Structure 1
Amino acid sequence: MRILVVEDEISIAEAIKAILESATYSVDMVGDGESALDYIVTGMYDLILLDIMLPQLDGVSVLKRVRQLDMDVPIIFLTAKSQLEDKVSGLDLGADDYMTKPFEAEELLARIRVRTRQSTVSQVNYLKLGNIMLNLENRELSTNSHGVTLSNKEFLLMETFLRNPHQVIPKNRLILKVWGPLDDSDYNQLEVFISFLRKKLRFLKATIGIKTTKGIGYSMEEEVS
């Protein structure tokens, strides 16, 4: 289960991350609202922990935009704003829960379990496009006749592409998702792993392929015969 922590105070974000990882969740952190929105729209998260007071774009605005996109990912506000009207407003806008700081680790984990229980039961464990299927549990990429196991970075890239088919995904978003911040000298890692994926798609005789949009990024497209 993958959780996005949206918190601009690094010490708090790292404390939350430690709590979640101790409960075996996979965790990404981001410190501003604009970046949070970029991460959320990838569709890769099972739950969002969202602060309200954020730079660039506040948490309420992030929530509104996510719900306008008809995304039903569970969102829990985790904020210092403790007035009753703040809680009512957040829930009315589409938040699934509202917790105030400071909080107890056990309560946070319990609320996460409640909010993800339903989605876990109904969660699809594979993604499909064309004749290709990606198993989200064992990282196998396959057709009806062949299969290959992806490395973790290959899997994260392929999952992002398959959750956003036919959409050009900027290079910097892919890099942040898979590697986090990198020095300029390390940016060629993305091209290397894109090459790995293309070779595996060719081996599988896939009817989909990774298209390069020069100067912008990559997209997963169904190939025209």
Structure 2
Amino acid sequence: MKLLLVEDDREISELLSEVLSDEQYLVDVASDGEEGRDFVESCDYDLVLLDVMLPKLNGVELCRQLRAKKYQMPVMMLTAKDATEDQIDGLDAGADDYVVKPYKLGELLARIRALLRRKTISVSPILQWGDLCLDSNTCKVSYGGKGLKLTPKEYGLLELFLRNGGNLLSRSKILDNLWSFEEPPDENTVKAHMRRLRKKLSKAGAADDFIETVYGLGYRLKQNLQPGFS
């Protein structure tokens, strides 16, 4: 899952982005409202965490602009403004949740999970493809009942493939979904992570081409291994 944090307090943004990264989220950070708007227009996000008191463009107005442009991702406002009228303004602008600072990290993470579940309410947290099983609630992956120890990037790759079924994913699409603007790699980085992921799958008993390469185009899960096939 890819999140955007729009927060001008550097100490808060660094702490929160570290906590979210530890929870296997990929996080981009914007330090003002205009930069946050540019990020949203440049990339697909599963959730936006939005401070209200922001330079250049405040969070309420940014949220209002995003909804006016038909962006549908969940928006959670994080703010020290706790007056009832402030909460009403934020929710009326299109926010899905309004969290008052200081907040407890455990509660904040639970609220984030709740919004992401609401976004994908029709999608099971258990993702399967043949003998491969990924539980997005626990971040555990197994093949044929055997657990796989994956790095965060390897886990992200596998989850991305599973959520896209047998659809072809180009290297640029993978980069957009799994790397932040602050760590832009080249396409050879995708190849390296793919090679290591395939090696781990192979050791667990998967076919060498469990993730197929479509030369010149990208990668996809092997078609005859979808659920319901042996």
The TM-score bracket by the shorter chain reads: 0.5 to 0.7
1:15 alignment partner, one of 12, 17, 27: 12
User: How many Å apart are 1:162 and its aligned residue?
Assistant: 1.5
CA contact 1:211–1:219 (8 Å) conserved in 2? yes
Structure 1 unaligned spans of 5+: 42-46
Deviations 1:61-93 (A, max 9, x none): 5456453xxx6x5x3124699998875464246
Do residues 40 (structure 1) and 42 (structure 2) align? no
What corresponds to 1:98 in structure 2? 98
What corresponds to 2:196 in structure 1? 196
Q: Using a 3 Å threshold, how does the CA distance of structure 1 residues 166 and 93 change in structure 2: closer, same or farther?
A: farther
- Identity %, equivalent residues: 23
User: How many Å apart are 1:157 and its aligned residue?
Assistant: 1.0
User: How many Å apart are 1:142 and its aligned residue?
Assistant: 1.1
Do residues 60 (structure 1) and 59 (structure 2) align? no
Deviations 1:113-172 (A, max 9, x none): 45646978x99653223442124435423135x553323321121112212334444534
Q: How high is the TM-score relative to the length of structure 1?
A: 0.59
Q: Which one-letter code corresponds to 1:161 in the other structure?
A: F
User: How many Å apart are 1:190 and its aligned residue?
Assistant: 1.1
CA contact 1:129–1:208 (8 Å) conserved in 2? no
Alpha-carbon RMSD:
4.7
Counterpart of 1:33 in 2: which secondary structure?
A: helix
Q: Using a 3 Å threshold, how does the CA distance of structure 1 residues 81 and 135 change in structure 2: closer, same or farther?
A: closer
CA contact 2:4–2:45 (8 Å) conserved in 1? no
Q: Using a 3 Å threshold, how does the CA distance of structure 1 residues 110 and 165 change in structure 2: closer, same or farther?
A: same
Counterpart of 1:106 in 2: which secondary structure?
A: coil
CA contact 1:6–1:13 (8 Å) conserved in 2? no
Structure 2 unaligned spans of 5+: 31-35
Counterpart of 2:165 in 1: which secondary structure?
A: coil
Q: Using a 3 Å threshold, how does the CA distance of structure 1 residues 60 and 171 change in structure 2: closer, same or farther?
A: farther
What corresponds to 2:29 in structure 1? 30
Counterpart of 1:197 in 2: which secondary structure?
A: helix
